[in-house]
Homo-oligomer: A and B are copies of this chain.
Amino acid sequence: MPTSFPPPTGDAEAEDTLSTLGEFGLIARLNAGRAQPAGTLLGPGDDAAVVAAPDERVVACTDVLVEGVHFRLDWSAPDQVGRKAAAANLADIAAMGAVPTALLVGLACSRDTPVETLTALVDGLWAEAGVVGVGVVGGDVAASPTLVLSVTALGTLEGRAPVTRAGARPGDVLAICGRVGWSAAGLAVLARGFRSPVAVVGAHRVPDPPYAAGPQAAKAGATSMIDISDGLIADLGHVARASGVLLDVRSRAFDVPARLVDVGAALGVDPLQWVLTGGEDHALAATFSGPLPEGWTEIGTVRAGDPAVLVDGRPYEGPPAGWDHFTR
């Protein structure tokens, strides 16, 4: 323990903060007891980490979460925020058809943040990283009036070509794997002041991306793929523009789960709206020229035409599609 002045009162360990521990003391605390997987050739504690990149390429992405914008600590526990930050990045790696190999985290937080809050955040990063067998190999902590997590994920393509947003061709089948609409339903519940049903609130707090479906789709010859982070229609728009195609989503393809139907009835919302425009579930959408791999559901078609996303042949006329934090 640092010999800080004034001396700590009560339970010093629980009351530690960045101010009392200092940057290096805090980092030591956050790294204590973590076990790195075999692919981490050199873990935290040096100027940089070293991670295996077995096919001579590394896939890399960064995603930023800001308190009050992307999460609220009164709606989510810190470990849930950590899991969500990790999931957003790990899903991006999967969406390239790649397998994650490591996470790094840039953590900006108030000097007075209790160390147990930060430990829980990092526990959450590790928990989600553990789902795919990777570790948090490095990062940085800095004082900031606003709590910001900037997570970087690395991955390997295992010798395959990356599956980009640009490969969809007319005649391909459009498909998804994973849940859509659950997180948005959970957010709607929380925004009305409720804390249940647990199934949808939990889906908002901690997404459950189908990580393995990314490499699976790549192996099955997916022609394009994207992580559904901003909402199905909004994210399919990126595929349509990058590929120069028209995507037509068939609304009846979605077997809207009873949970979402019930929550929608309670809140007076058409649950299909959550399915089509809700973000943060991190399902994967992909296009295939051949048979779909197991676990994927056909939801539409790829056609020639000016880049656009249609629903049942028409422009979507529900509430604004997509989640853009700046313009909300």
The residues of A with any CB-CB pair to B shorter than 8 Å are 18-19, 21-24, 26, 41-42, 45-66, 68-70, 92-93, 95-96, 98, 102, 104-108, 111, 137-146, 148, 150-155, 157, 162, 164-166, 225-227, 242, 324-327
Query: Would you give the shortest CB distance from A15 to chain B, in whole angstroms?
Result: 15
A58 touches B58 (CB 8 A): yes
Q: Bound complex: CA of A145 vs CA of B110, how far in Å?
A: 13
Ordered by A's residue number, 18 sampled pairs between the chains whose C-beta atoms are within 8 Å are A22-B327, A23-B327, A47-B165, A47-B225, A48-B61, A50-B58, A52-B57, A54-B56, A60-B137, A62-B138, A62-B139, A66-B143, A106-B150, A106-B152, A143-B325, A143-B326, A150-B150, A152-B152
List B contacts of A58 (CB < 8 A). Answer: 50-51, 53, 58, 154
Contacts of A47 in B (CB 8 A): 61, 92-93, 95-96, 165, 225-227
Query: Lowest 5 A-B CB distances belong to which pairs?
Result: A106-B150, A150-B150, A53-B53, A48-B61, A146-B146
**CA A53 – CA B155 in complex, angstroms?**
11
Residues on B with beta carbons closer than 8 Å to the beta carbon of A150 = 62, 64, 106, 108, 140, 148, 150
A140 touches B62 (CB 8 A): yes
Among B26, B65, B164, which residue has its beta carbon within 8 angstroms of that of A42?
B164
Task: For A93, list chain B residues within 8 Å (CB).
Answer: 47-48
